[in-house]
Amino acid sequence: MFQGIYTALITPFKNGKIDEKAFQSFVEWQIAEGVHGLVPCGTTGESPTLTYEEHNRVISLCVEAAKGRAKVLAGTGANSTDEAIMLTKHAEKAGADGALIVSPYYNKPTPEGVYQHYKAIAESVKLPIIMYNIPGRSVIDIKDETIARIAQIPNIVGNKDATGDLARVSTLRALVGKDFQQISGEDMTAIAFNAQGGIGCISVTSNIAPRLCAEVQNRSLKGDFSGALAVHDKLVPLHQAMFCETSPGPVKYAASLMGKCSPDLRLPLVQPGDASKARVQKAMQQAGLI
């Protein structure tokens, strides 16, 4: 089960290349801070601008650094089914514990096309697969009925929801039952998501506040929602600051302030503006991170 806080890992760059040393040190720190899992090569990891070789390398580096101490849910989605199959096969070979596969973006497939996409990927590997529904980036919203159909594929075990619609946790649960793993894709909804049957959050903020984000999950999954809320309240300005400009710009800048990596991004993403940087710094100070 992919339960608890999973960090949607940033990918450090240095001189235009992946900073492998910084990345593995970052993974080590994340584990030491108590995260339950790691997600390399998601959107926060700038997967759209990684080459296939870099994408595969980052997943291998993550598995190598984790050494089984935290689960690795590798981002292997693509809007080409063949490409997604290739990336997912590599993740399986590299030793990842599962694959996170985003809904196909840009080409806008029909519900049947979405089903066939996930079916083809799932049948190519034995890895457990978590779907990822994020209409804000992929354009399409995978409706509950389609997710329920896809959930019948044996190794499709859950869904990461970034719709922001908390009713979806309950409406999907009514169709697929409690064993289908539902994971929040938004830090701000993490507690409410768990209260309605979710089991965790794939987090951007945990890149820089892993211990606090892990505490929110640990408390909420034990039913201590008041305790979780007390921690969450401290994190709200930080959650907001992480999306004051397109992610991962703000969170990568925040990580640089902590000495974890450079703030470098790959075009077409650029550094946050001065006002956004100031907002990030203020939120980090309020949370006691710097």
Establish if 279 belongs to a structural domain: no
The reply to whether 134 falls in a domain is: yes
Average pLDDT, integer, range 75-85: 97
Model confidence at 226: pLDDT above 90: yes
Q: Is residue 267 part of a domain?
A: no
CB-CB contact of 168 with 149 (8 Å): no
11-32 mean pLDDT? 97
The one-letter amino acid code at 185 reads: G
Q: Is 105 assigned a catalytic role? A: no
- Identify the domain containing residue 34 by its residue range: 4-218
The pLDDT of residue 74 is above 90: yes
Q: What pLDDT is attached to residue 1?
A: 87
CA distance 231 to 239: 12
* Burial class of 275 by CB neighbour count within 10 A (0 to 12, 13 to 18, 19+): exposed
**Residue 257 lies inside a defined structural domain of this protein:** no
pLDDT in tens, 26-39: 999 999 999 999 99
How many other C-beta atoms can be found within 10 angstroms of the C-beta atom of residue 165? Answer: 12
pTM of the model: 0.96
Is 172 a member of any domain?
Answer: yes
Q: Is the pLDDT of residue 4 over 90?
A: yes
137-186 pLDDT, tens per residue? 999 999 999 999 999 999 999 999 999 999 999 999 999 999 999 999 99
Before 248, cis peptide (omega within 30)?
Answer: yes
Using pLDDT thresholds of 50, 70 and 90, give the confidence band for residue 107: very high
- Token reading at 219: 């408390």
Question: Is residue 123 within 8 Å of 89, Cβ to Cβ?
Answer: no
Residue 131 maps to a domain: yes
Q: Is residue 259 part of a domain?
A: no
Is residue 147 within 8 Å of 182, Cβ to Cβ? no
Q: Please give the Cα distance from 171 to 124 (Å, whole number).
A: 30
CB 77 within 8 A of CB 109: no
Take residue 282 and report the two structure tokens written for it.
Answer: 């203020």
Cis omega before residue 268 (within 30°)? yes
Query: How big is the chain, counted in residues?
Result: 290
Known catalytic residue: 260?
no
Closest CA to 180 of 202, 199, 158: 158
**Distance between CA atoms of 226 and 216, rounded to whole angstroms?**
10
The CA distances from residue 132 to 58, 104, 158, 163, 179, in Å, are 20, 10, 9, 10, 17
Q: Does the residue 278 lie in any domain?
A: no
Express each pLDDT in 261-283 by its tens digit. Answer: 999 999 999 999 999 999 999 99
CA 113, CA 91: separation in Å to the nearest integer? 24
Number of domain units in the chain: 1
**What CATH number corresponds to the domain at position 184?**
3.20.20.70
Catalytic residue among 118, 132, 252, 253: 132
Q: Is the separation of the CB atoms in 95 and 126 below 8 Å?
A: no
**88 vs 106: CA distance, rounded Å:** 20
The catalytically annotated residue of 71, 160, 252, 260 is 160
